[in-house]
Structure 1
Amino acid sequence: MTVGDDDRTGTAGTGGTALAGARPERPRKVRKVGKQWPWWQELPILIVVALVVALGIKTFFVQAFSIPSGSMQNTLQVGDRVLVDKFTPWFGAEPQRGEVVVFRDPGGWLDDQPAQDGGASPNVISKALAFVGLMPSADEQDLIKRVIAVGGDTVTCERGEPVEVNGRPLNEPYVYPGATPCDDLPVGTVKVPKDHLWVMGDHRDSSRDSRAHVEEPGGGFVPVDDVIGRAFVVAWPLSRWSLLPVPATFDRP
C-alpha cells in the first residue's frame, strides 16, 4: 500500500489527526455573518411581532373582558377583569351547566343594560391595547351569565322554590346573599331547544337574564353559536384573583 504525502511528513491531512510533537494550530476567530442592526432599528420589529402574537392570542386563545354591572355578584364585581377561554371551542367543546360564559347579545338583551366601564373616553393607547386583547374594550357589548341548562334540559323556575333542572333542585350558594332563586321573575317550566342555553345571573334580583326574555323572539334562550367562551379566572384586581370553577351542584347527572 502506498502511503500518502501527509503520512510521510507527519502532518494531519484532511480529517486526520496531528502526530505527537506537531505544532498545534491556533484557534480561528468566528466571524459574524451579516450586518448587526442597531437596537433602535430592531425595536419596531420586536414591537410588531409582539402585537401580532397578542392579537393571535386574543383571536384564538384568551381574551380579557370587563364586568360592567352587578348581575353576577358576588361571584363577579363591577370592574372585575376576567379571562375568557376561546381556545377549546375550536375543538368542539360546548358550554356546560354551571360554567360562566361570555356571549354576544342574542337580540335586544342589551337595550336596557349599562355599557362597559364608564368614565373618561379611552385614549389611543387604551384602544390599541384593547384591539390586541391586552385590556378590555370600552365599547364591548357582550354579556356574561351562568349556564343553568343546556339543549334538551327542562328548567323549572317557580316563586318560592329553588331552580330545578330536569326535576332536580339546584343548591346555589353562589346566588347573591338575600336574593331569591326565582321570586322576582318566575317563568314556570321551559324546555331548552337543541344547541341553545338557559342562562341566569348570580344576583337574581338584579339580572335581566333568560327569565326576562321568555316573551321575546328567541324565548330567552342563547344560541351556542353566540357564545364567545368560558370565563375561567378573575385576573384583576389582583386582590380578587380567583378561579371560576363549576359549582358542585352541577356535578350530578
Structure 2
Amino acid sequence: METSERRPRKQGWRFVLLALVLAIAISGLVRSLWLDVYYIPSESMEPLLGAGDRILVSRTAYSSEPIRRGDVVVFDGRGSFAPLSSGKGPFVDAVSAASQWFGLTGSDTTYVKRVIGVAGDRVQCCDANGLLTVNGQPLEEPYVFQGDEPSKQKFDVVVPEGRLWLMGDHRSRSADSRGLLGAPGGGMVPTERVIGRPVQIIWPLDRFAEMPRSTQAETPLKNGQ
C-alpha cells in the first residue's frame, strides 16, 4: 500500500515541477520577444513614473514605425549611460539579473527616459524664455516635473544618425544625456539599444493605468525642412 501511495505523490510533484518549468520557459519567451516587465528604481521620470512602479514594456513597439520625439523609451544604457561591464563578477551579475527578471530590483544598466532629439535634430538649452529648442523651435513640455526648469545645464548638440538625445521628466533628479556631454558618444544613445516602449503601469495597483504613446505639444521641423 505504501508503494502505491508514494508513486502518485511522486508523479504529482513531477507534474508540478514540469508545469513550473514550462511556465517559466513560456514567460521567458514572451518577455524576450514581445512584452517585458521593468522596475522603476528612481524619481527621474516623475510625475509620469514613480519610484517603485512596475511597467509593462512592448518590445515590438518600434518594429513597424520609427522612434519619435516625445516617446518614452526603455533602453540598455551599456556603452553610453553605463559601463559595458559591471566589474562585479559573473556570479553577482547572475544574481542581479535574476532579481531584475522577477521585478524585485531595478537594473543598473536599463533606463527609461524621454526622446527629445532624433537623428539630425539640433537640441539647445535654452532660449530667452528658458525653453529647450529643437531645430530653433521652442519646445513646450507639459510633462516636466512641476517646479523644474527644462534644464539648468546649457548645451547645444546635433544628434548623429542612429542616435537619440534622451532626458528624464524630473529634470532636477535625472541623470541623462546632459551629464555625458564630455564622454564618448556625447550622451547620445544608439537606437539599437532601445528595448521598447512602456505601455502599462501594472504595479502598484492604485497606479494601474495604460500609458498611451506620448507626443510633444509641438513637433519642430528638422534643419532645412
TM-score bracket relative to the smaller structure: 0.7 to 0.9
Encode CA deviations 1:129-163: one digit per residue, 9 max, x unaligned.
754xx535555521111011111112121265211
Pairwise mapping of residues 1-253 of structure 1 onto structure 2 (< 5 A)? 39-89=12-62, 91=63, 93-107=65-79, 109-110=81-82, 130-131=100-101, 134-135=102-103, 137-158=105-126, 160-182=129-151, 184-187=152-155, 189-244=156-211, 245-249=213-217
For residues 219 and 179 of structure 2, what CA distance do their matches in structure 1 show? 27
CA contact (8 A) 2:100 2:107 kept: no
Aligned-partner Cα distance in 1 for 2:124–2:27: 43
Q: Could you tell me which amino acid in structure 2 is paired with residue 145 of structure 1? A: K
CA contact (8 A) 2:78 2:109 kept: no
8 Å CA contact retained: 1:192, 1:221: yes
Aligned mates of 2:140, 2:146 — CA distance in 1 = 14
CA distance in 1, matches of 2:122, 2:35: 32
TM-score if structure 2 supplies the norm length?
A: 0.77
1:138/1:220 Cα in 2 relative to 1: closer, same or farther (>3 Å)? closer
The CA deviation at 1:194 is 0.5
Paired positions, count: 200
Give structure 2 stretches of 5+ with no counterpart: 1-9, 84-94
Q: Which has the larger radius of gyration?
A: 1
> SS at the partner of 2:175?
coil
- Structure 1 length as normaliser, TM-score? 0.69
Q: Residues 197 and 108 (structure 1 numbering): CA distance in 2 closer, same or farther, change over 3 Å?
A: closer
CA distance in 2 between counterparts of 1:240 and 1:205 reads 23
Q: CA deviation at 1:74?
A: 1.1
Deviation at 1:252, TM superposition (A): 6.7
Name the structure, 1 or 2, with higher relative contact order (CA <8 Å, separation 6+): 2
RMSD of aligned Cα (Å):
2.8
Contact kept in structure 1, 2:80 and 2:185, CA below 8 Å: no
State the distance in 1 between where 2:77 and 2:107 align.
13
CA distance in 2, matches of 1:191, 1:128: 38
1:207-236, CA deviations, whole angstroms, 9 ceiling, x for partnerless residues? 121111112111111111111111122211
Q: Is 1:200–1:211's contact at 8 Å kept on the other side of the alignment?
A: yes
TM-aligned CA deviation for residue 50 of structure 1: 1.2
Residues 140 and 60 (structure 1 numbering): CA distance in 2 closer, same or farther, change over 3 Å?
farther
Q: Distance in 1 between matches of 2:107 and 2:198?
A: 19
Q: What one-letter code is carried by the residue in structure 2 that aligns with 1:95?
A: I
Q: Is the 8 A contact 2:76 2:193 kept in 1?
A: yes
